[in-house]
Chain A
Amino acid sequence: MQSISFAYRQLNALILGKPLQIRLALTCVLAGGHLLIEDVPGVGKTTLAHALAGVLGLDYRRVQFTSDLLPADMLGVSLFRPDEGRFEFQPGPVFSQLLLADEINRASPKVQSALLEAMEERQVSIDGLTHALPKPFFVIATQNPDGQLGTFPLPESQLDRFLMRISLGYPSPESERALLLAGDRRQALSALPVAMKAGELLALQQKAAQVTVSGALADYVLALLLASRKRELFMHGLSPRAGLAILAAARAWAMLDGRDHVLPEDVKAVFVAVCAHRLQSRLPGMNSIDAAQRLLDHVPLA
């Protein structure tokens, strides 16, 4: 647990003024989920991904997604070795513990679905052979908000594969001033100390999965799910998978608080990050984030 709080402090020192987002990102990692960061360019998406990999001591690869990227560029290819007379599999960048899929919405849908399949199955099938991905494996994808030129927006069914979607947003003036004065972050990035030993993250993930969820808390999450399906706020309600995702994230959040049980406030803390990208608001002039917050404000605890 000390290693986690150490990692949290380190990340906060590097990315200034964004403690909530950093905590959500850590929660996402501890819950074993994939993270989608949606933001305009230049606010530190890549830095956050990079720093997470560094602090957690993970093997880290980065793929810059472009419209001409092919699935093989990411998954790997089987090469013929004439000297040995056989095919040999050359693993692609997906075979890493932390894959940073940069600007995922600039790649063609074909590449996107290949990646998302790997995320879901945690394995890759090529030429009839199944290759397991390393453990832990998770993807941090970044994406520019809709409306930017040259993008293929991810369909909802695929957004569902990400446990959370967060956005960093512009830093506060004080943080930005500190950032301007501190200069290049890349220097600090390489100087970032590793907070965890190999295998420690896996152990923490297992511990997070064991945080208790009481019947009353399950009732609360159920009430949220049911309320989301009432067709007043959203086009479609939350799926059972979303319900499991809420609980997984809330468990990890509770563990970060050092608790062995989940409280409603844990659910409230992660709810918007876990659910907003799975929902489409029906209300005019209200995006899904506001609508999800509104849902939280109207569902009673008991």
Chain B
Amino acid sequence: MRSEPRLAHFAVLAALALTVLPLFLQLPPWVPLLFALQLGGRAWLAWQGRQLPHRVWLLLAMIVPVLLLWLSLRTLVGREGGVALLLLLTGFKAFETVTLRDWRVLLGLGFFLAATPLLFDQSLPSALWLLLSLFVLTWAMVLLAGVDSAASPRAAALALLYAMPLMLLLFVAMPRLPGPLWSMPSTDQRATSGLSDSLAPGSIGQMIPSREPAFTAQFRGRQPTREQLYWRVMVFDRFDGARWTAGSVPDNGTALLPGATEVLAYSVTATPFKGVLPVLEHAVWAGEGVQQAAAQLVRRIDARNEARLRYDVRSVAQAAYPAALNAEQRAHYLQLPAANLRTRQQGEFFARQFRDEAGRLAALRAWLQQQGLRYTLSPPLLQGDVVDDFLFSSRQGFCEHFASAFATLARAAGLPARIVVGFQGGEFNAGGQFWLVRSSDAHAWTEVWLQGRWQRVDPTVLVAPSRIVSEVGELVPEAQAVLPVLGRRPPQWWHTVQAQWQRAGFVWQQWVVDYDAQRQQSLFQRLGLGRVGVGSVMTVLLLGGALLVLPLLLWLLWRRPPPRSYPVRGWQLLVSRLQQAGVAAQASDTPAQLRDKAALLAPALQQQLAQLLADWQRWRYAEGAADADPRWRGWWWQVRRFRPPRLAAKKRTGR
């Protein structure tokens, strides 16, 4: 039973609207809104059965939105501009959609539009939304094909299911571009980590930890302890009395020599922060796509590419440095401004008191511990000499305050020191065997040059050891993830659900989004296909396609009714020939009914038809001729030659 075409038209419009819903988050809101209005207007015209506007009006109406688009984005190409323009033009296309073919074109545009949200966001929710869009679009296509509305959801689901193996094959085999297509600069840059490119303790009154995930890491072999996880992202070594920034001094070698200690091998999936990617201390080896840089950091090779990246690193617990600090470097790491007199005096006191550098450091640590400093995320603002104010007056602060104070103290005491900013710890997802590091794990600590190498000193641990052992969230009540509605501590199942969701997101990122040119290459090589090229891709597509499609095809053929005989095929052909000629013929009509319905055909054709029908009826019903009767062959060929021309077509309307 055929469904009503109007229902299919509404389904197409609804599917288009649903598909582009995520674009509300990415484009100027008026663009998707206008698109929705366009679809709504087209649906209203269909509902009322009205005539569509003339083409001239459409052309005129197009000018204003396109101009507006130009004014608001200053471009009609690129990611935002291109997608917005496509959206608007699709909306106008709906107004010249009349015939079945037009509706199919509109639906094809819908399939294209469904992919556009992925240009902005490739996370798991986007993928799930795409899947839903695909289903709804396919459903509209099935309705458009005239399938009964009750049977259409099943038919659409089956069609998608049949297509799934091919989809997977294409995903694996289609050549990747090196680097994502959509990493072209977009108009707005959003900060993606909890870090900034300088450190100024005391200028921020309150730090509100964000629970947003920053990056994930997966260790091969032994899992590290939380205390080991100091993720280094930035090194600040110049202090102007209020603000720490990254200076420029020749590094004493980027390559560390692994000692005889254990190795941590791990992969990190992270978004570069100004080209730098988080790694653990003493990174001795960096995999493809990244390189080791000054101050033992790791940078992306393609520094301008800000897309998320997965990279392999190896770190060791202790590493030897190839060279000692030279005089210039030593001066750089001891540099202090004239401010913070009391702190400097305190440091110089230690320098005089302890000749041995290790003993001096131990004394500094002991002294800091005795100062009654308190860890808090909402410290008072500091004034004047911020380090003095913190150490001797307010005595409240978080990691930045501690790191800044300790580095100043150490430099004053004659120990080269620098501040490292990054992340500490992370949350271990036992189900997915990976670490999730959040923005709230952002941390700052110090490194002191002692006995030929940089040694980590985390002054925060000296004051508030639990900051490292536990998460910020557990320490500070306001940092707890709260359910927005309930406004109280979330129940245990909420944590479980969250962990599972993070795990799914991780798997998605690892297996789908991170499947890039390099991984494809290694997969091809493992399969013995050689380099990814036209030849190997075609081989995979053809062979894989045949392997996947043939069983399906055989199964469908096997399920099909036995081959139809000449009289049956001929009857159906005859009916469809009449339908093509514009006669309202149906396969359920009797020969007499067909003859009556074909009364508009030319007399010669009518006579021909009458003869065909009479033979068919007489042989089949009066004489009881079997389907294998030799006469049917000749009759079938006569039907094939029977080609009535099309009768005058009816006028097209908005329906």
Q: Which residues of chain A come closer than 8 Å to B150, judged between CB atoms?
A: 232
Asked if residues A261 and B621 are in contact (CB atoms below 8 Å), the reply is yes
Q: Which of A215, A232, A265, A301 contacts B624 (CB 8 A)?
A: A215
- B442 vs chain A, min Cβ distance (A): 62
What is the CA–CA distance of A268 and B568 in the complex, to the nearest angstrom?
19
What is the CA–CA distance of A300 and B588 in the complex, to the nearest angstrom?
4
- A3 vs chain B, min Cβ distance (A): 25
Q: Which residues of chain A come closer than 8 Å to B593, judged between CB atoms?
A: 265
What is the CA–CA distance of A261 and B590 in the complex, to the nearest angstrom?
15
Question: A86 at the A/B interface (Cβ < 8 Å)?
Answer: no
Asked if residues B590 and A301 are in contact (CB atoms below 8 Å), the reply is yes
Asked if residues B588 and A263 are in contact (CB atoms below 8 Å), the reply is no
What is the CA–CA distance of A229 and B568 in the complex, to the nearest angstrom?
22
In this complex, the member of A216, A263, A301 whose beta carbon has the largest number of chain B beta carbons within 10 angstroms is A301
Q: Which residue of B lies closest to A269 (CB)?
A: B590
Question: A296 at the A/B interface (Cβ < 8 Å)?
Answer: yes
Question: A217 at the A/B interface (Cβ < 8 Å)?
Answer: yes
Question: B121 at the A/B interface (Cβ < 8 Å)?
Answer: no
What is the CA–CA distance of A214 and B588 in the complex, to the nearest angstrom?
18
Q: Which of A261, A265, A300, A302 contacts B622 (CB 8 A)?
A: A261
Question: B512 at the A/B interface (Cβ < 8 Å)?
Answer: no
Asked if residues A298 and B1 are in contact (CB atoms below 8 Å), the reply is yes
* B:606-631 near A, CB below 8 Å: 617, 620-624, 626
What is the CA–CA distance of A298 and B1 in the complex, to the nearest angstrom?
8
Number of A-B contacts (CB under 8 A): 56
Asked if residues B588 and A217 are in contact (CB atoms below 8 Å), the reply is no
What is the CA–CA distance of A8 and B590 in the complex, to the nearest angstrom?
25
Asked if residues A296 and B588 are in contact (CB atoms below 8 Å), the reply is yes
Asked if residues B590 and A232 are in contact (CB atoms below 8 Å), the reply is no
Question: B262 at the A/B interface (Cβ < 8 Å)?
Answer: no
Asked if residues B588 and A302 are in contact (CB atoms below 8 Å), the reply is no
Asked if residues A214 and B620 are in contact (CB atoms below 8 Å), the reply is yes
Question: A264 at the A/B interface (Cβ < 8 Å)?
Answer: yes
What is the CA–CA distance of A89 and B591 in the complex, to the nearest angstrom?
56
Could you mark each residue 581-600 of chain B with 1 if its beta carbon is under 8 Å from any beta carbon of chain A, else 0? 00000111111110000000
- A45 vs chain B, min Cβ distance (A): 31
What is the CA–CA distance of A100 and B557 in the complex, to the nearest angstrom?
56
- A275 vs chain B, min Cβ distance (A): 15
Could you mark each residue 234-274 of chain A with 1 if its beta carbon is under 8 Å from any beta carbon of chain B, else 0? 00000000000000000000000000111111001000000
Asked if residues A301 and B588 are in contact (CB atoms below 8 Å), the reply is yes
What is the CA–CA distance of A300 and B567 in the complex, to the nearest angstrom?
13
Sample of 27 A–B contacts (CB below 8 Å): A212-B622, A214-B622, A214-B623, A214-B624, A215-B626, A216-B567, A216-B624, A217-B620, A232-B1, A260-B622, A261-B622, A262-B621, A263-B590, A264-B590, A264-B621, A265-B592, A268-B590, A296-B588, A297-B586, A298-B588, A299-B588, A300-B586, A300-B588, A301-B587, A301-B588, A302-B567, A302-B587
The list of the 7 closest CB pairs from A to B, nearest first, reads A300-B587, A214-B624, A302-B571, A265-B590, A216-B620, A302-B568, A261-B622
Question: A216-B620, A298-B588 given. 11 additional CB < 8 A pairs?
Answer: A212-B622, A214-B623, A216-B567, A216-B621, A217-B621, A265-B593, A298-B1, A301-B587, A301-B590, A302-B568, A302-B587
